[in-house]
Each structure stands twice: as C-alpha cells, then as structure tokens.
Amino acid sequence: MMTQTIQSNTSTALLFASALSHKTDTEAAVRDLADAVRAQLGRATLELAFVFFSPHHAKKADLVATMIQEELSIEVCVGCSGEGVIADHEEFETAPALTLWVASLPQVRVTPLRMAFSQTQDQIQMAGWPEPSAEPSTFLLLADPFTTPVHDVLSVMAERYPNGLALGGLCGGGHGPGENRLVRNAEVFDGGVVGVQLSGPIAVRPVISQGCCPVGERYVVTRAEQNMIYELGGQPALSRLQEVFESLEGTHRRDAHRALHIGIAIDEHRSRFERGDFLVRNLVGADQQSGALAIGDLVQEGQTIQFQLRDGKSASDDLHVLLAADRAKHPNPALGALLFSCCGRGEGLFGRAHHDSSVVQERMGPIPVAGFFAQGEIGPVGGKNFLHGYSASVAVFSRPDHAHDPQ
C-alpha cells in the first residue's frame, strides 16, 4: 500500500492512497482494502476511487460496489474486472487480486459517467453526460469490449468535447458478452462504459507508450484507398517493406516477421518526428500482385508513415523514455497514477513480472498506482484520442503546472 500527499493548505490538499488484497473471500478482501485506505488517509473526504479486480471476484462485483460505498462513502467510485490486476509496483496476471485506489480532490469537479449502446437502434446512449463543451477536461473510461463500439464512442466524444483527453482501458476476464463487470458507485453493469470526467485544479498527464521503435526511412503515402496503401514515396508499398526487412540485422530481422507494425504521423506540420508522434497500427496483410499493404486503420495520401518494430526491449525503452520525459517537462511531481496495460504485455513480452508497474515507480517515484491488464487501451496521441493495442496508457496525477509546490 502507498500514500502520497501534497498540501499547501487544508483546503487544497491532494491526497492519494492505494491498497491490495489477495484474499479470495470478496467480503474480507474489500474490508481489508477499506481499513488500509483509512489507515493511510484517516477521515479525509474521498471524492474519487477506482477499484479493479481479477475474474475471481467478478461474480461478486455487486458486493464489491456496495461495500466500498458503505465503508468509505466515496463520492464517485468506478472500476471493472480485468485479465489481471496492477497494484503499485506489482502485477498479478493470473492470481486472485483486488486493488483500491482513492483520491481526495478538493475543488475538483468529479462527474460519474455511464454509456450504453443500443444495437437495435444503432445508437450510443449518453444520458446524464455533461453538456457539450470546449473546456479542457479529462475523461477516465472503462469499457466492455464485447458491447462497446469504442471507435464510435471516441468520435462522438471528439465532437462533444473537443478539448477533452480520454484515458482508460477495455475490461476483461470474461470470454463473451455479459461476462465482464463494470462498477459505477453502487451499480454494476455487464456491458457498455463507465467512467468519470475531471475538471478543475488537477492535472492528469497522459503518457501513452505504444511499445515500438521506428525502423527504416520515413515515407509519404503517394497512393492509398481506405486501409490499403499502394505506394510509398512513389514506389510499391510492399517493395518499401522489403527494403526495411533487408536493412534489419540479427534478432531484429527475426522479430520483424511477427512484430512489424506501421506508424502514421498525427501532425504533418512537424519539422521532425519523435516518439509519440506516430499512431501505431497493425500490418494486416499484403497483396503480392498489386504491391499493396493492408493496415488496421484508414490512411490518406500525403500522410507520413514509418515502419515500427515491437519487442520487449523496444517496449521497455519506450516506456522509460516517455515517463522520464514527462517528469522532466513538468515542475510538479506525480502524486498518483492509473495504469492500463495491454494483456499482451506483462511477463509474456518482457520475460519477467511487474515490468510496467515497476517502471512507473522508478520514473515517477513511490506513488499510489492501480490498474489492470486490458483488452485495449485508450489514450491520446497528438492531442487526439485513440484505441490502442499492445500499449501502456498511464494517467499521471499531479497539481497543475501553474500551481508550484512549496519547497
């Protein structure tokens, strides 16, 4: 368990805490979490909480939701089941686990969210959501992958909240519709989206590690249609891909056969491109006859692309570099973080347990962290919100940059 406090006066104190239980008895586990949080923060008013639980607790999600409200009287609590659970510097991919992350956020507006999708009407239902606004705010979203058209959701949100940043993940643990669980206060759902909107004197800094390193040259798309790239820099796209293969050596060439992706530049007006400037998408296939490449997204002529290699080392380096850059850029330290890590990462990718969580602790300091292994990760790249795969989406909480901490 961890606690973090930054306090300039009693009216503006920001407090964060986290707790973890491995008990398989859900009632006992939640009680332990509540006791641990109160031991850390005393009687502080808690405006926000996130709870994440392994599939072992999914059938008793109702009990999790009601007990947290009864024990802690939290203003807004959201959570979900996950393939695995992340707590502070540890990750539990298969073991029973339940983690609670709480925050006292005076003067911050905390709005609970719920969204459902009607397949019969082909309509997104957003009852109770804030009115459309261009004001900056942060949306933390948890979605069921079986019942939520996430790309459509993000498109609607972009229209309603053009300056809203979205972070989060797709819940897991279930193998089909109706098997995952989402929590919003005392309510439990088996589909759709739950979340929270934050606005006011709090900074939620997005760090989106797509886990790749660029390889080969950058090219301009000179002929494309939908998700098919026919020409790069005036040459068949497949020929350009072959050039990249031939330029790689050793393990990189071996890994490229199964882990080569494509990065699409988000902002074409940049004079130079760096980490985080590309939206990484899958290479879906190739057409030998036409020389075209199929990718997992729409692409337009005139866009800049660069092939990307994903492996354990590249993913580790990327997360280290991006977190270090975030810490160097902002004057106020991280106070807490939420971590949504792809279920394709973890020990299977890095060859050791607790990678992403330990990197966050190493780069941000010993702060309260909670999260889960997701079926997809939500986060902004180039100021636009996207659904990612094989990524780590980190929401770093701090005081706003203009509110400097006392020395």
One-letter identity of residue 383:
G
Return the amino acid letter for 256: A
Question: For residues 284 and 298, what is the distance between their CA atoms, to the nearest angstrom?
Answer: 12
Q: How many residues does the chain have?
A: 407
Per residue, the 3-state secondary structure of 209-224, as one string, reads: ECCCEEEEEEEEEEEE
pTM of the model: 0.91
CB 26 within 8 A of CB 34: no
Residue 2 has a pLDDT of: 67
Q: What angle do CA 378, 382, 387 make, to 5 degrees?
A: 20
pLDDT of residue 360: 97
Closest-CA residue to 137 (of 109, 116, 156): 109
Q: What is the rounded end-to-end Cα distance, in angstroms, of the chain?
A: 26
List CB contacts of 362: < 8 A, sequence separation 6 or more.
none
17 membership: H or E segment, kind and range: strand 14-21
The separation between CA 248 and the C-alpha centre of its own chain, rounded to angstroms, equals: 31
Answer whether 174's CB lies under 8 Å from 58's CB.
yes
User: What's the mean per-residue pLDDT of the chain?
Assistant: 91
- Residues 6+ positions from 361 with CB-CB distance below 8 Å: 88, 89, 367, 369
* CA-wise closest residue to 172 among 151, 190, 152: 190
- Using the 8-state DSSP alphabet, how is residue 83 labeled? S
Q: How far apart are CA 51 and CA 370, in angstroms?
A: 8
**Angstrom distances, CA of residue 304 to CA of 268, 270, 299:** 7, 11, 10
How far is Cα 370 from Cα 4, in angstroms, rounded to an integer? Answer: 13
Element (H, E) at 189: strand 187-189
Q: How far is the C-alpha of 243 from the C-alpha of 167, rounded, in Å? A: 36
Q: Reduced to 3 states, what is the DSSP secondary structure of residue 289?
A: coil
Helical (H) or strand (E) element with 295: strand 292-295
C-alpha–C-alpha distance, residues 277 and 164, integer Å: 19
77/184 Cα distance (integer angstroms) = 6
Separation between Cα atoms, residue 254 and residue 65, nearest integer Å: 47
What confidence score (pLDDT) does residue 258 get?
A: 67
Ranges under pLDDT 70 in the chain: 1-12, 119-122, 251-258, 269-271, 403-407
Kindly state the tokens that stand for 10: 């009693």
Joined together, the tokens standing for residue 333 give 């330290």
Structure tokens at 305: 């692309």
Q: What is the 3-state secondary structure (H, E, C) of 328-374?
A: HHCCCCCCEEEEEEECCCHHHHHCCCCHHHHHHHHHHCCCCEEEEEE
CA gap 147, 124 in Å, rounded = 11
Q: Residue 277: helix, strand or coil by DSSP?
A: coil
Residue ranges with strand state E in 210-277: 213-225, 228-232, 235-236, 260-265
pLDDT at res. 8: 39
